[in-house]
Structure formats: structure tokens, C-alpha cells
Amino acid sequence: KHRRMMAPDITARKGGDPIVALTSYHAHTAAIADNHCDFLLVGDSLGMVMHGYESTVPVPLDLMIMHGRAVVRGSKRSLVVIDMPFGTYEESPPVAFRNAARVMKETDCGAVKLEGGRRMAETVRYLVDRGIPVMAHIGLTPQSVNVLGGFKTQGQRVDQWAAIEEDARLVAEAGAFAVVLEAMAAPLAERITQAIPIPTIGIGASPGCDGQILVMEDMLGLSPNVPKFVKLFGAIGGAIDSAIGAYAAEVRARTFPAPEHTYSVKGEGGPADPA
């Protein structure tokens, strides 16, 4: 019955009911999140969460495509947005188009996301004009960690606000359908939300944003270290630890597998059934 959400459906929610989003990297959790979310982001944070990299900088495009396909297959109604990883879009609008078109053709996702405000405005326009919906991402942009010198909160000094607000205006004018505001002072996020015509999606921003996103593994309680802005809505790490501990104990005690988990021999000629 439900057709899949598309980028304009997200834009239409500006100023309305909050937009609910999570990252998603794999099919079975995508199917669960799909029951609750408006869009699923295949974030390049998957490099850190799923593959153990220290930052998102090393993530290859092929990895985004593999996980993107899994999330599209696993979901039915949420818009699927896929992050363009570092090095695949910054060089020029045509390079960005070539790589983003590959992502869309090979995954069947509905939009891409890229990091940057004014520096990416021309690229956002180029992609949108050629059929690729773009979500922008400003404030803390983790792909620039090596320039920033760490994952640092943005806009905690008021003299930094004008430049960040200008980033938001320029990506909105360039045709972005929504913009992620990451790790920035709450009053700045509210101000940007009031100032621009497209939805703001906060992560470590403000409840005043038009929507919220978190990394799924962080909010489930699976990630070992999480930023201040993450609330633990679950304790999945502890649940996995007890389940695996119980399994290990039963294997060592030879109580697993029990008879109901084993197969009997059919027909003649096998060893006698001990029961």
C-alpha cells in the first residue's frame, strides 16, 4: 500500500511533524527501522561502526554501494539516502555526478548526501539539475577531521554563526532537499531552522530542528564510545554479551545442541537410535 518516500516528501515536511531518521547499514535492521523512520541513511560512519576504521576518510565507494543495496533490499517505505564518501565528489561537479549516478544506478536508492556548505553549493546544483536529489551536511563534517584536528563541536562562539548560517542558506538555494546539522550549538541550529526553507535534520543539534538522526548502533547501545549527543535507547551490546556467554557455557557443558536441535537418521542401516 505504501509507496516509498521520495526526497520531495521529506522537503514537504518542513515545519511539520518531526522527520525521524536513523543510519542503516544492513538488511535485517533496515527492515525494523523501516517500520518507524521516514528515511534511512547509509552513512559513511559504517566505515567506523562496521569496519573498524578510525575515521570515515578511508571508506571506498564500493563499500557504500554494497551496504546501500542491502538497505534498499531490506526496506520498503523509507527513503534511502546514501553518503558520498571522501574523495568521490569534492574535485568537481562532473566527478561528483559520475560517482553519484553510479550510486543511484547500482543501489536504486532515492538520494545521496555529501558534506559541505558553500564549497559544495555548485556541486549540489549540478547534481539536482541532472536528476540526483542531494541532502547536504554542515556543521561538524567528519570527513574533514584531519583539517579540523578532531571531531569538534561547531558554532559554540557566536562570531562563528554567520558563516555556518550562510552554508545552510547556500545549500538550500542550490536545491538540496534537506540538510544535516551535526554537532553545533543548539541556538544556532534553531536559528538556521527558522532561516531556511528546507528541513534541518539534527544530530547533536537541537530539538528545534525539523527532524533528528542518530547512528543506529550508537542509540541501541552497541557502540563502545559515543558522543555526548547520543541517548542510549537500548542496551543491545549487553544483550549480545549475555547471549554469547550463555551459548559458550552450553557448548562447554555439552548441553547445546539438545536433542531438538539435532537430526535423526532416516531409513535402515544407520547406527541404533539411543532413545
Contact status, residue 22 vs residue 219, Cβ threshold 8 Å: yes
- Residue number with CB closer to ligand KIV (226 or 243): 226
User: Is the bond preceding residue 93 a cis peptide, omega within 30 degrees?
Assistant: no
Is 37 near ligand KIV (CB under 6 A)?
no
Pick one of ligand KIV, Na ion, none as the site partner of residue 34 (Cβ within 5 to 8 A by kind): none
DSSP 68-90: HHHHHHH-SSSEEEEEPPTTSSS
C-beta separation of 147 from 57 below 8 A: no
Binding mask 62-81 for ligand KIV (x = CB under 6 A): --------------------
Q: Name the H helices within the chain.
A: 7-11, 27-33, 46-49, 61-74, 93-107, 121-129, 145-148, 161-173, 186-195, 216-219, 236-252
* Residue numbers 131-160 binding ligand KIV by CB under 6 A: 137
Radius of gyration of the chain (CA): 22
Residues of span 171-230 touching ligand KIV by CB under 6 A: 180, 182, 203, 213, 215
The active-site residue, picked from 182, 190, 250, 260, is 182
By CB under 5 A, tell whether 47 contacts Na ion.
no
User: What is the closest distance, in whole angstroms, from the C-beta atom of residue 257 to ligand KIV in the complex?
Assistant: 39
- Select 38 or 83, whichever has its Cβ closest to ligand KIV: 83
Binding residues for ligand KIV, rule CB under 6 A, total: 12
Residues of the shown chain interacting with ligand KIV in the complex, contacts defined by CB under 6 A:
23, 41, 43-45, 83, 137, 180, 182, 203, 213, 215
